[in-house]
Structure 1
Amino acid sequence: MTVRETIRRETAKLTASERKIAHAVLADYPFGALQTIKEVAERCGVSAPSITRFVSKIGFAGYQEFQRQLIEELREGSRSPLDLKATEKLGSGNFIAEYARRAIALLDEMTGSVSQAQFDEIAKLLSDTNRTIFLLGGRISDSIARLLSQHLRQIRPRIHHLPAIQEDWPDLVLSMRKQDVVVLFDFRRYQPDLARLAERIALKRHPKIVLITDKWMSPIARHSDHVVALPIENDTAWDTAICAVAFVEALIVKVSEADWPATKGRIETWDTLRLSPPTIKNGDGNDA
């Protein structure tokens, strides 16, 4: 269990002052709690002993142990397939059946880490046609972002997938408004360019930022309005995207049903244009 999960589990047991510390830690997780105990206390408006009591109540022997756990989480967030291979746990039986069992277990875990309220709120944002939606992912996860953007384009207008070339970003960034939504996908071995993009649009354009990440938290989390932390470990050298794909597919269904008559009409028109392209004339006026 991460420190973040531990804090949320213990929230009901905290005093008002301790909840204030918890909110401050989670608001800039995990970086805000990597400061000295004095700096964290000053930022929260509490005493240093209050910080000590807080970390003790959530299960740590002291502030140093609390920070060591946070640092370990940061290390986990940078593990490569070579690192993961060293701890791989492959069975000797039917691999595909075993892999499927792991996938089912991860999907079950996802239902515990993503609340229905959080899912509904994100689906509501993506369903609002007054908002323009911008999407982008990392080197691998952009394929998942593209899956979502391709379906959203069929469901509703004003969907933009940011291009891979950074020099092409400013044009779309300049068009972002406060009511718009930026959906970013970033899993461990996080991409610095996505974090810089999130920071700039948060400071300059102020749209809603939805981050799809893992439990160790992309640095983008500190600039995000909604953070979805999904399970990705499946005891092999390769993290799995099965929960990310399932989450995206669930969003696609929910958004499409928010206004089904409009969705139906758009898909019908879309298919007419796609399957019956306009006739192109050649130079002499005849059909090509």
Structure 2
Amino acid sequence: MTVQDAVRENLSELTAGQTKLANALLADYPFAGLQPIQQLADSTGVSPPSISRFVNRLGFAGFSEFQHRLIEELRESSRSPRDLRALSAEADDSCFLATYAQRFADLARRLPETITQQQLGTVAALLADPGRSIFLRGGRISDTLARFLSMHLRQIRQGVHHMADDPELWADSLLEMRRGDVVVLFDFRRYQPSVERLAAAIHAQRRAQIVLITDKWQSPAARHCSHVVALPIEIGTAWDTAAAALALIEALIVTVSEHDWTSTETRIECWDALRADLQGKDSNKDQETS
């Protein structure tokens, strides 16, 4: 459990002053917690002794231990494949596939502990709502996941838009967004600053529902998002895994399609007929020019 998770888990049991402190920590996580205790007290109006009692409630012996954990999380959230390779055991080529498959199976078993059925249902209901347009975008690597989800959602329903690669063109998408539309963002370890800026702009200017799919350390974009899904990505190698994200995406695709299967089936039938017609025309044209 991260410090952020611990703070959220205790929110319902905090005093008014502790709630104020917790909200300040979450609003600028983890950096707010890395300030000197007196500076944090001055900025939140919560006394240093109250801050100490708050971190004790979270399970830390004192404020220095609390900050040490935040620093460790910050370090973990920025690790590169080179860093992870130095920490992992050298791969044994003779049995690597079997070992990797076992790690994947262990990760898959942990997935229901990471995202609850209720959270899956909430996100799926947003994506299935025909009254909402959907916009998707990811980071440098994670945008492949956004593309994958957008392609399948377009087969299920209309109003699905994958945002352009060039951030200069994102303003076009923001202008099309209405209050209540859904934006799905992907951002994993070594987070993309442009994704955070995008989330901040959408939250401030368009008031859309933002769903962030990230890891347990959580992208800085999380502070601007309505729904945050934190997935396991560590698998003991130099490369983090996207397996949990793909499993979530496929579960969402199935769940969204079942919200109104009659409509989904009709759209797929029309989609397939149009594809077959267009492919046939392309084939005839190729024959005519060959």
Aligned partners of 1:135 and 1:118: how far apart in 2? 19
1:235 positional shift: 0.8
Query: Who is 2:205 aligned against?
Result: 204
Aligned partners of 1:257 and 1:94: how far apart in 2? 40
| AA partner of residue 132 (structure 1) | S
| AA partner of residue 180 (structure 2) | Q
| AA partner of residue 195 (structure 2) | L
Aligned partners of 1:5 and 1:112: how far apart in 2? 13
Aligned partners of 1:21 and 1:15: how far apart in 2? 10
Task: Give a deviation string over 1:214-236, Cα, whole Å, max 9, x none.
Answer: 11111111111111111001110
Aligned partners of 2:225 and 2:182: how far apart in 1? 11
State the TM-score, normalizing by the size of structure 2: 0.89
- Contact 1:91–1:98 (8 Å) recurs in 2: no
Aligned partners of 1:171 and 1:9: how far apart in 2? 38
Aligned partners of 1:32 and 1:211: how far apart in 2? 21
1:241 positional shift: 0.3
Residue 193 (str. 1) matches residue 199 (str. 2): no
Query: Who is 1:31 aligned against?
Result: 31
Q: Given the superposition, is the C-alpha separation of residues 151 and 87 from structure 1 closer, same or farther in structure 2, using an over 3 Å criterion? A: same
Aligned partners of 1:16 and 1:113: how far apart in 2? 29
Query: Who is 2:80 aligned against?
Result: 80
Aligned partners of 1:39 and 1:251: how far apart in 2? 43
Residue 118 (str. 1) matches residue 119 (str. 2): yes
**Counterpart secondary structure, 1:277:** helix
Query: Who is 2:285 aligned against?
Result: none
Residue 53 (str. 1) matches residue 53 (str. 2): yes
Query: Who is 1:170 aligned against?
Result: 171
Aligned partners of 2:153 and 2:227: how far apart in 1? 19
Query: Who is 1:283 aligned against?
Result: none
Aligned partners of 2:47 and 2:238: how far apart in 1? 44
Q: Given the superposition, is the C-alpha separation of residues 130 and 57 from structure 1 closer, same or farther in structure 2, using an over 3 Å criterion? A: same
Query: Who is 2:102 aligned against?
Result: 101
1:168 positional shift: 1.8
1:96 positional shift: 0.8
Aligned partners of 2:44 and 2:111: how far apart in 1? 31
Q: Given the superposition, is the C-alpha separation of residues 9 and 201 from structure 1 closer, same or farther in structure 2, using an over 3 Å criterion? A: closer
1:28 positional shift: 4.0
Indicate the RMSD between aligned Cα atoms, in angstroms. 2.4
Aligned partners of 1:122 and 1:31: how far apart in 2? 29
Q: Given the superposition, is the C-alpha separation of residues 17 and 110 from structure 1 closer, same or farther in structure 2, using an over 3 Å criterion? A: farther
How many residues matched?
283
- Contact 1:33–1:40 (8 Å) recurs in 2: yes
Query: Who is 1:224 aligned against?
Result: 225
Moved more, 45-54 or 149-158: 45-54
Q: Given the superposition, is the C-alpha separation of residues 108 and 31 from structure 1 closer, same or farther in structure 2, using an over 3 Å criterion? A: farther
1:3 positional shift: 1.3
Query: Who is 1:136 aligned against?
Result: 137
1:29 positional shift: 2.9
**Counterpart secondary structure, 2:240:** coil
Moved more, 7-16 or 223-232: 7-16
**Counterpart secondary structure, 1:135:** strand
**Counterpart secondary structure, 1:276:** helix
1:279 positional shift: 8.0
- Contact 1:28–1:221 (8 Å) recurs in 2: no
Aligned partners of 1:205 and 1:221: how far apart in 2? 16
Query: Who is 2:67 aligned against?
Result: 67
Task: Give a deviation string over 1:225-268, Cα, whole Å, max 9, x none.
Answer: 11111100111000000000001110001100011111111111
1:163 positional shift: 1.1
Aligned partners of 1:198 and 1:23: how far apart in 2? 19
Structure 1 stretches of 5 or more lacking a match? 281-286
Give me the identity figure in percent.
Answer: 55
State the TM-score, normalizing by the size of structure 1: 0.89
